[in-house]
Amino acid sequence: MKTLDLPISTLAYIGDAVYELQIRLSLLKLYAAKAGTLHREVIKLVNAEAQAEALQLVLPYLSESEIQVVKRAGNQSVPSARNIDPADYRQATAFETLIGYIYLEGNTERLLDLLSKANPDLEFHRL
């Protein structure tokens, strides 16, 4: 099955996991902290609002095919959680979908490049 044939929800599910793991590992290198402290710092970067901002930071660098993935995800009807702006939730889902798509395509260098653009103060490495 081609990556683009996967449902948006599946791409976003994988992208969410990949992004959070990358953020956790990156912050672990910065902070020699207990898990609870590390978790609080991670949440600041992986919540819907932060992911919506991350999408805005990477948009200028996306290829046409990546833009199509983002548009497809942004047009998808997704249930939003309470207390989250629906626009932020859609953009966060689009960001997660993009990350999932790039990861499943096996384009590690591109993934690391976009993660660095979304979070310029952090260092990312191959999983």
- Phi, then psi, of 83 in degrees rounded to 5: 65, 15
Residues 98/66, Cβ–Cβ less than 8 Å: yes
Q: Helix, strand, coil: what percent of the chain each, to 5?
A: 75, 0, 25
- Out of 16, 85, 113, 121, which one is annotated catalytic? 16
Is-catalytic flag, 85?
Answer: no
Catalytic residues, by residue number, are 16
